[in-house]
Structure 1
């Protein structure tokens, strides 16, 4: 069930250490994840091929190979899906009216389970059994019942019974009624629980339909590392000790790059692919 293993945090004060360590303009690494850690990494959100292009590239680097762009730590999705002039790839790329290759996409504001799960496995040895704090942006529509679903039946066929929306978990009701963790420009619901409980965060639409949502912030009680997924970003940032970041960068299931706390990840910061 949704939110399993999590408890609403007793007070948002456990996150008070974050805001004083955020600096810079929107898009800066250290505006999203706190300054002062020895090392940082950027985890690119998984590429989702269009239904008609299942054999397409499944990494950002693969997209670059098709569009003639340059893969690097600060590359931006909008830039690498716009083919370089003149084309440097031998494979045809069909463009949208906007001049972009749109048969692949990435999700913003969520690290999907196929990447979140192996990332949590990497973090587990560095975290141990201590509790972690899981923060969720308060504006996701499903938190307050703002999402909806449609049902269809074949013409002339029997009408299927409408699915019943699952009850809101008690822990979510408690968090909605609790004080928020307040950071520049964002307010968060705050939960506490084991590291891998992050995989249970999301919308239990019906009893057998779960729509996941990764934490927007995640850190252990000892603050030895911190993970951040800004709602408008198509990548996730993690800060921590050098050996932890090296492990993230080496994980075969993740497409990750080393970054610095002062790097710029704003939409127009990809100077290699302009």
Structure 2
């Protein structure tokens, strides 16, 4: 019988946090940011939380500071009454200086940001990041 040992890596929350650490210097609105959570994770979080739709996905829209991401997975019954919240699917500052999307299906996040910020993220040893080529379809998990 063969055994496989899988070395655990950093949680997605930690990896996104590294990217946000770099991106924080590329926004003029760190105190006004938006976080979207996919509605497919479970029941409604409350009628007072705004919702919006894009093709094939519905999201709840939360507003806060960039620093609020550090507490995202902490139990917050106003956001998610069942314990730790799933990771946000989108994060962006009010000035639209950059955006991170971390959808539920792919095994990667996409970051749109100024070139200098992307270069810094790719060079950061705390995160496994590569440049994206829009002409190459990313690999899929089957």
Shorter-chain TM-score bucket reads 0.7 to 0.9
Cα deviation, residue 205, structure 1? 8.2
**In structure 2, which of residues 86, 92, 117 is the aligned counterpart of residue 219 of structure 1?**
92
1:140 aligns with 2:41: yes
Distance 1:213 1:179 in 2: 17
Distance 1:216 1:196 in 2: 17
How many residue pairs align between the two structures? 134
1:190 aligns with 2:91: no
Instruction: Indicate the residue corresponding to 1:104 in structure 2.
Output: 6
Equivalent residue runs for 1:60-209 within 5 Å: 94=2, 103-104=5-6, 112-128=12-28, 129-141=30-42, 143-144=43-44, 172-173=45-46, 176-202=47-73, 204=75
Pair 222,262 (structure 1): closer, same or farther in 2 beyond 3 Å: farther
Per-residue Cα deviation, 1:128-162 (whole angstroms, up to 9, x for no partner): 43411111101113x55xxxxxxxxxxxxxxxxxx
Cα deviation, residue 198, structure 1? 2.0
Distance 2:54 2:8 in 1: 26
TM-score, with normalisation over the residues of structure 2? 0.77
SS at match of 2:91: strand
Instruction: Indicate the residue corresponding to 2:133 in structure 1.
Output: 260
Cα deviation, residue 224, structure 1? 1.6
| C-alpha contact 1:202 1:214 (8 A) present in aligned 2 | yes
TM-score, with normalisation over the residues of structure 1? 0.43
| C-alpha contact 1:224 1:240 (8 A) present in aligned 2 | yes
Gaps of 5+ in 2: none
| C-alpha contact 1:216 1:231 (8 A) present in aligned 2 | yes
Distance 2:73 2:23 in 1: 21
Task: Quote the RMSD (CA, aligned, Å).
Answer: 2.9
| C-alpha contact 1:116 1:199 (8 A) present in aligned 2 | no
Structure possessing the higher relative contact order (Cα contacts under 8 Å, 6 or more residues apart): 1
Distance 1:190 1:137 in 2: 9
| C-alpha contact 1:200 1:212 (8 A) present in aligned 2 | no
Gaps of 5+ in 1: 1-93, 96-100, 145-171, 269-274
SS at match of 1:190: strand
SS at match of 1:235: coil
